[in-house]
């Protein structure tokens, strides 16, 4: 199939470049460093294993779970059902 000046894999190359850029951007926003020994929300001790597993950790497991629930309940319909689009 003739594609003009673009190569046969031009579309896939663009998709790959976009994904790689998004990964680099997300990784650059990750925390690094030793992390805290106590949760900044409730002041509970953060276990050594968690501090080793999650660089730059600032919250205990319970507070992190609450934080993740709050972030997940933004009210945004990620599935994009037709019913929600009609409203």
| pLDDT tens, residue order, the chain (87 aa) | 555 677 788 899 999 999 999 999 998 888 777 889 999 999 999 999 999 888 889 999 999 999 888 877 766 655 666 655 555
Where in the sequence is the domain holding 66, given as residue range(s)? Answer: 26-72
**Does residue 60 lie within any of the structural domains?**
yes
Distance CA 20, CA 14 (A): 10
Would residue 55 count as lying in a domain? yes
So what's the pLDDT on residue 27? 87
CB atoms within 10 A of CB 36: 16
Is residue 53 assigned to a domain? yes
pLDDT at residue 84, as a whole number: 57
pLDDT of residue 82: 61
- CA–CA distance, 85 with 87 (Å, rounded to integer): 6
Whether residue 49 is contained in a domain is answered as yes
Residue 9 lies in a domain: no
Q: What's the pLDDT at 3?
A: 55
CA-atom Rg of the chain in angstroms: 21
Domain presence at residue 50: yes
Structural domain count, the chain: 1
The answer to whether position 58 is within a domain reads: yes
């Amino acid at each position: 199939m003739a594609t003009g000046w673009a190569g046969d894999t031009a579309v896939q190359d663009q998709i790959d470049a976009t994904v790689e850029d998004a990964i680099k951007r997300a990784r650059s926003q990750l925390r690094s460093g030793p992390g805290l020994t106590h949760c900044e929300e409730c002041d509970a001790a953060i276990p050594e294993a968690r501090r080793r597993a999650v660089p730059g950790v600032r919250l205990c497991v319970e507070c992190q779970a609450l934080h993740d629930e709050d972030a997940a309940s933004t009210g945004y319909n990620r599935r994009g059902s037709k019913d929600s689009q009609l409203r």
